[in-house]
Amino acid sequence: MARRMDMLMHVFFFLCSSLLVLGQNSSERQLTSPDNSPRPPVIVIGFVGGFVRHDNMVHSGVQLAAHLREAYPSGVYVEVFENRRREKAHRKILSLLDVGHGGKLSDEEKQNARIIIYGMSWGGSETVVLARELEKENIPVLLTIQVDSVAKIRQDDAIIPANVREAVNYYQPNGILHGLPEIRAADGTRTHILGNFRFDYKSKSIRCDRYPWYDRFFAKYHTEIECDPVVWNQVESLIRSKLPPAGNGKLAR
């Protein structure tokens, strides 16, 4: 009887020791395991100008988005919005960043943001306003790109907010509609202005045959910078420089 009790005690202590070791190992695995939490995609948001529809493939900004979606089938989210749909774009960004589906972004989710915003004409103005809204929420922006940016009433498209890492401005100075000649950083220690690049279509005209006649007549030079492949291939190259590796190629036309 005493021998049997002694064996039972050994078995009991062995089981307790094994459970303790398993518990310790489990805790160690939890503490030392790599962070496998999901990350949001790189987000590329485009704004078209005037009263252009977001899916009008005549316009270079829409073509660019389609080309990027083809080149980056995963890991990159690309969408174009009408310039009056800024709040819709804002909500889409917050939804994409909310990888934990908590309904409210954590500090980590905000800092994991990789956002690129580009826009033409009124869309250029909305690009800066959206970046400014994201600044109020402590969400960083990798890059903003303005093409012949035209400010809307009560909007300031010249001062780039400090949450933007890099910004660039393409403009032409002629005609009734012409772009902002200079953008500046609200905080030069945090935002790098890549340049304010001037294009002159009086001396070098661009054919924009697919654009409506009224655009080519009333906003000739403003339309030409919008359909200039040199400008938009530069825009694409800048965006690609912030994206994961993908197939080569320029903006299809």
State whether 1 and 124 are in the same domain: no
**What's the whole-number average pLDDT of the chain?**
87
Please indicate, yes or no, if residue 248 is contained in any of the structural domains: no
Please indicate, yes or no, if residue 247 is contained in any of the structural domains: no
State whether 155 and 113 are in the same domain: yes
State whether 25 and 113 are in the same domain: no
Domain total in the chain: 2
What is the tens place of the pLDDT at every residue in 185-232? 999 999 999 999 999 999 889 999 999 999 999 999 999 999 999 999
State whether 139 and 218 are in the same domain: yes
State whether 214 and 113 are in the same domain: yes
Please indicate, yes or no, if residue 245 is contained in any of the structural domains: no
Query: Residue 38 pLDDT more than 70?
Result: yes
Rounded alpha-carbon distances, angstroms, from residue 57 to 63, 184, 207, 239: 6, 31, 17, 19
Residues 6+ apart with CB under 8 A from 107: 138
State whether 141 and 112 are in the same domain: yes
* Residue 246, pLDDT score: 73
Please indicate, yes or no, if residue 148 is contained in any of the structural domains: yes
What is the tens place of the pLDDT at every residue in 63-114? 999 999 999 999 999 999 999 999 999 999 999 999 988 889 999 999 999 9
pTM of the predicted model over 0.85: no
* Residue 249, pLDDT score: 43
Q: How far apart are CA 171 and CA 169, in angstroms?
A: 6
State whether 106 and 187 are in the same domain: yes
State whether 27 and 46 are in the same domain: no
Please indicate, yes or no, if residue 236 is contained in any of the structural domains: yes
Q: Helices (H), strands (E): how many in the chain?
A: 8, 8
State whether 25 and 108 are in the same domain: no
Q: What percent of the chain has pLDDT over 70?
A: 83
- Which domain, by its residues, includes 21? 1-32
Q: How far apart are CA 201 and CA 147, in angstroms?
A: 14
